[in-house]
Amino acid sequence: MIHVRQLTKSYPDLQRGKFVALDNVSFDAMPGQIYGLLGPNGAGKTTALRILSTVLQPTSGMATINGFDIVQHAERVRRQIGFVSNNTAIYDRMTGWELIEYFGRLHELDEDILNSRMEAIFDRFHMNNIRDLLGSKMSTGMKQKVSIARALIHDPPVLIFDEATLGLDLIVSREVIKTIEILREQGKCIIYSSHIMTEVQRMCDRVAILVGGRLVAEGTFDELSDRYDESDFEELFYQLLLKHEKQDELQIHSA
């Protein structure tokens, strides 16, 4: 479903000559799978997600989503994905219903199909109480529900969640997680990025850990636990970060 090969993104830097945000990253995420993309701030996660969603173009390497190349078929790729972040970006002067309807029309959905999907989504996510509520009057949790509905309205096979539960209260956060698990059961391919290790360990089927733009570990939790002899995933993650940060420091001092 998602195939990434040697994906690289670099930028010119006046001091260092070149800054590499993503360095030869490769991985595969399959249908019916939640694939965790993890790393500290500045590790390259957001760069990778922006490239996959066609907001950025890679410097080199390639990726396909549902068979479509992210550079050569960018418009087709955008129809294959739904993107949810912690930045809800809801229009203040549109109601919940109007906003979802607007995005459905952007995806050129037939009127009958659009209305049917909207009714189903508003029922499934218990959103009828915000159907006629303006974005400016919504709580953060309400806005995030609308963001998820907006990402799902065209029924994409691939969903990308970038820190989607950040700043949400416990109830709304659990509703978001439950929604993602239902989407996996429906056969969706899901990329999930989060700093909350308990969420990651509960939900993800496989994970990739990025440090300094490089993929330093990839696999299931059992595979990583055996490989690094550490059963506590948060401790495993922490030790990997320390190890590669020390390696980077040694390289800088020896250069």
pTM exceeds 0.85, yes or no? yes
- What are the per-10-residue average pLDDT scores of the chain (255 residues)? 95 80 95 94 90 95 96 94 84 95 94 94 89 93 89 95 84 85 94 89 93 93 92 88 71 49
- In this prediction, residue 249 carries a pLDDT of 56
- In this prediction, residue 152 carries a pLDDT of 93
Cα–Cα distance for residue pair 243/125, rounded to 1 Å: 42
Report which of 243, 61, 235 is spatially closest to residue 70, judged by C-alpha positions.
61
Cα–Cα distance for residue pair 40/24, rounded to 1 Å: 18
